[in-house]
Amino acid sequence: MQWAVATYDTAFGYVSAHGAPLLDLLDPQPDERIIDLGCGTGTMTVEIAARGAEVLGIDESVEMVNAARSEHPHLSFAVGDAHDFTISERYDAVFSNSALHWMSRAPSAVISSVHAALRPGGRFVAEMGGAGNCAELIAAVQTAWRVFGLPEPELPWYFPTPAEYAARLEEGGFVIRLMEYSDRPTRLAECPDGAADWVRLFAPELIAEVPPELAGPLLDRVNELAAPALRRESGWMADYVRLRFAAVRKPGGDELVQPPAPQAPPAPQPPPAPQPPPAPHGHPATQAPSAPHLSVSPEG
Ligand SMILES: C[S@@+](CC[C@H](N)C(=O)[O-])C[C@H]1O[C@@H](n2cnc3c(N)ncnc32)[C@H](O)[C@@H]1O
């Protein structure tokens, strides 16, 4: 997914604006260590840090992480994929706002990585799109693609039901403390071209697969189809449905993420190689802006 990083903060600031109650649910404490997973440009990361916690923002997008670093040079950010990041130290909480539904390749792998990053009793607090999220917008896209004789678009999101995600969390070694599932119609305040702008910003890869001469008429049709449900006199609304949860890592359960190695007959071992000293872990104000203890891509 290629994000329009330059316009993300201004045009889609509402993504983060809705994160304030989630921050209260996280309730970061001074000196806690917290990961902001799918941190984007760091808008929520900086809020967590403002409550005194030491925070590490992780995002798979190099562009997002670069923007986060330049906006918040005193904080730590790293490029990493939520499906398989590994951290050498345990954190007190993992937070995620409006990002888990983008991590659609293997949702249980994301939960496993989060589990491994947390100390026993550590919190996983997040909000994501839930089942039915953007149903009208998506239906308009699918119908428009069909009308134009295009193949069914492959949608990049994972919008689970509360029951489905709760089952994944429990299987992944978490106890659920709160699970909320609610409609949250959201004004597309900065989308003068309504549903078409929403597609351009949140699903640009769908447009990239379309012959260029079709893109304009196709998006016009998306608008026509979505307008009866989503266009008000005051402007366009997105039919958001959110899943918000707080879960706690059960004590133990390391075997969930580190299965025992298969038994093999003992073989003579060479002497162990000298180990480098453990990575330093300072206060965010004194940390280098990358995270030495995170397994990340070279850009991170
Ligand atoms: C809608 S943005 C939300 C950003 C931020 N949490 C906020 O509240 O403003 C979703 C973010 O998830 C990131 N993301 C998507 N898939 C990811 C993955 N597999 N691993 C890490 N980050 C991912 C995207 O790069 C993007 O920055």
pLDDT (tens place) for every residue of the chain, 300 residues total = 665 665 555 545 545 566 678 999 999 999 999 999 999 999 999 999 999 999 999 999 999 999 999 999 999 999 999 999 999 899 999 999 999 999 999 999 999 999 999 999 999 999 999 999 999 999 999 999 999 999 999 999 999 999 999 999 999 999 999 999 999 999 998 888 999 999 999 999 999 989 999 999 999 999 999 999 999 988 999 999 999 999 999 987 665 545 445 555 555 555 555 444 433 333 333 333 445 356 654 344
CB within 8 A of 56, min separation 6: which ones? 33, 34, 35, 36, 76, 77, 78, 91, 291, 294
Residue 131 burial (C-beta neighbours within 10 Å; 0-12, 13-18, 19+):
middle
CA of 224 to the centre of ligand 1 (A): 29
CA of 56 to the centre of ligand 1 (A): 14
Q: Report d(CA 173, CA 57) in Å as an integer.
A: 23
Pocket test for ligand 1, best of 18, 35, 60, 95 (most atoms within 8 A of CB): 60
Q: What are phi and psi of 224, to 5 degrees?
A: -60, -40
Name all contacts of 161-164 with Cβ < 8 Å and 24+ positions apart: 161/130, 161/131, 162/130, 162/243, 162/245, 164/131
- Domain 5-131+157-188+239-254: homologous superfamily in CATH: Vaccinia Virus protein VP39 (3.40.50.150)
CA of 300 to the centre of ligand 1 (A): 15
**N- to C-terminal Cα separation, the chain:** 17
